[in-house]
Amino acid sequence: MDSVNLEVLRACQRWLGAGHRVLLVTVVKTWGSSPRPEGSMLVVRDDAVVSGSVSGGCIEDDLIERVRRHGVTQMRPQSVRYGISADEAHRFGLPCGGTIELVLEPLADAEDAAGIATLCQRVEAGQLVARTLEMETGTATITAARVTEGLMFDDKRFVTIHGPRYRMLVIGAGQLSRYLCQIATGLDYQVTVCDPREEYTDVWDVPGTTLVRTMPDDTVLDMRLDERSAVIALTHDPKLDDLALMEALKTRAFYVGALGSRRNNAARRERLREFDLSDAELARLHGPVGIYIGSRTPPEIAVSILAEVTAAKNGVSLPTLLQVEGAKAARELAASAGSLCFA
């Protein structure tokens, strides 16, 4: 779940608790380019105060003006579309011909407040839940969800998924892992840190993460990694990193990476071949991990790694020059060429 959406739900909970009526707005579907993805949320208070975003700003302005003029007076949820014509697309800040469909849900009474409070509590507890809204009655129910489920709207029912949609397994509880896990939790990953070494785990205190002291290969197997999982090995200890990688590369995890120099990663690949990993499985290994941004400090390296993870999660193929190995090789080649020019 987008952390911005959780902030929207928290604002909704606060405002309902203070006696306000609110209009909860969710992006249902987009056609063409769109500033915000499906599932993005906005809440407008009855005095036109807002939290969240569903577009670049113009649609928000229209919804705010609607509430400012009429208040939150509708009794049942409804769906609306913006940007159907080129003129509307221009007016509402959408690309020409783009269209966005929204569900507008009025919330006002104690039952609504209790429902939003329950949703926030379950999401904050790390649970993945589905909220089903009956469009005819406005009744909403919350049930457990599976990671493969997504937003659904058929004009009668509107189902949204809330909670940690993606998992991340980090091998090693060192300093770099601290920075990486802090950012990863902000990106809404459900983070598990695996390290059997007491000298590291005894001082681990990063909020929002789960620490396990089992062996990395056992942890990978126990977690049953799927296509919404990422694995990052950060210990620099082959006895730990290799154990995790040899099992993780056999799973459907969307990202498997390991920290280390180009020389160390080449040696790691040779070691992994001894565990009967195929060329296709070895090709899935990201190493050296991260994109090349000249990072040197642990926080910068964490940003580099998570940038590459985010690209993989979003299906973006990075050019060789953005990858650490390709970028460093290109720099060395350019430096060599420059030296020859002055020879």
Q: Do 82 and 147 belong to one domain?
A: yes
Whether the model clears a pTM of 0.85, i.e. scores above it, the answer is no
Q: What is the pLDDT of residue 183?
A: 95
Closest CA to 60 of 39, 43, 79: 43
CA distance 73 to 21: 9
Q: Do 214 and 87 belong to one domain?
A: no
Report percent pLDDT > 70 for the chain: 86
Identify the domain containing residue 186 by its residue range.
Answer: 166-327
Closest CA to 260 of 209, 305, 317: 305
Residue type, 287: G
Say if CB 313 and CB 254 are below 8 A apart.
Answer: yes
Mean pLDDT of 116-145: 93
Q: Do 7 and 155 belong to one domain?
A: yes
- The CATH number covering residue 290 comes to 3.40.50.720
Structure tokens that stand for 45 in this block: 């208070």
Q: Do 100 and 199 belong to one domain?
A: no
Identify the three-state secondary structure at position 35: coil
Sign of CA dihedral 315, 294, 301, 4: negative
The more confident residue out of 230 and 2 is 230
Query: Does residue 341 sit within a domain?
Result: no
Q: Do 278 and 310 belong to one domain?
A: yes
Structure tokens that stand for 179 in this block: 């920075």
User: Which of 83-97, 234-248, 290-304 is predicted with the least confidence, judged by mean pLDDT?
Assistant: 83-97
Q: Do 54 and 146 belong to one domain?
A: yes
Distances (CA, A) of 249 to 162, 220, 318: 28, 10, 20
Q: Do 115 and 170 belong to one domain?
A: no
Say if CB 104 and CB 62 are below 8 A apart.
Answer: no
Residue 98 has pLDDT above 90, yes or no: no
Q: What is the pLDDT of residue 328?
A: 65
DSSP state at residue 94: P
Q: What is the pLDDT of residue 16?
A: 96
CA distance 252 to 166: 13
Give the chain's mean pLDDT: 88
Q: Do 135 and 182 belong to one domain?
A: no
CA distance 271 to 310: 28
Q: Do 183 and 229 belong to one domain?
A: yes
Q: State which of 162, 197, 227 marks the end of a domain.
A: 162
Q: What is the pLDDT of residue 84?
A: 57
